[in-house]
Amino acid sequence: MNLLPFIEFCLVVVGLLAAIAGHYFSLDQSLALGAFLLGAGMVLGGLESVFTQRMSFRFHASANEDYLGTPAVIFGLMQVLVGGIAVAVAHLIAGGMWQATLTVLYLRPWPLLAVLGPLLVGAGVLLMPEAKDLRGVVRSLAIGIPRAIAGLIAATAGAAAAISGVWEWLDPGSFARLANLVSGDIYLELAARWWRAAVTALR
């Protein structure tokens, strides 16, 4: 049994419990501590995947052997990104800047789009079928082709999100005008309602 995955798992579990307790009992310090521990566990696991080129959170060396090499590195980088966000959130909560940050992100969502883009691209790459998934007609139809379609959709959405984030950062006015022209007021109203609901849940 590997010790490092056990430490990663403990950090994530304790962080989740502390964050949940902090949220429901309105304990900002507990919420900040939970977010930090959760992020630390994710970052530690991601670095393990990047440097060992094996999937993290593996309690045995033989686990997840299908994802050695590049897939493990991609997954590790995604973990580092998510963990880094959690650590940043912990810092904002501890410093009393979380609510103000949510307001800024509502007005200027480019950081969310910039983060969402690489995550979706990475997920799309990981969803792409392996050679064994394309062997045989039945296996290709049941596994290979659906995975390829899902991976392509996720990667395309990620690229679009990343480009949109850069565009909104450089020229927010034209981005908002095009979004309004393409999506219409109804879509924007639904998006605003979703954002308000999400913000309420995160308060």
Quote the pLDDT of residue 76: 94
Q: Which of 7, 16, 17 is nearest to 48 (CA)?
A: 7
Choice between 56 and 177, residue whose per-residue pLDDT is larger: 56
Spacing of C-alpha 170 from chain mean position: 23
DSSP state of 41: H
Q: Which long-range contacts (CB under 8 A, 24 or more apart) does 24-33 make?
A: 28/93, 28/94, 28/96, 29/94, 31/93, 32/90, 32/91, 32/93, 32/94, 33/90
Q: Which of 39, 22, 40 is nearest to 31 (CA)?
A: 22
pLDDT higher than threshold 80 for residue 156: yes
Choice between 158 and 2, residue whose per-residue pLDDT is larger: 158
pLDDT higher than threshold 60 for residue 57: yes
Helices (H), the chain: 3-24, 28-52, 70-94, 98-107, 110-127, 137-139, 145-170, 172-202
Quote the pLDDT of residue 115: 92
Quote the pLDDT of residue 122: 95
Spell out the domain ranges in the chain. 1-107
* Dihedral in degrees, nearest 10, Cα atoms 54, 57, 60, 64: -50
Q: What is the mean pLDDT of the chain?
A: 84
Which token pair is 75?
Answer: 């997954």
- The answer to whether 67 touches 10, Cβ cutoff 8 Å, is no
Q: What is the pTM of this model?
A: 0.83
Distance CA 99, CA 92 (A): 9
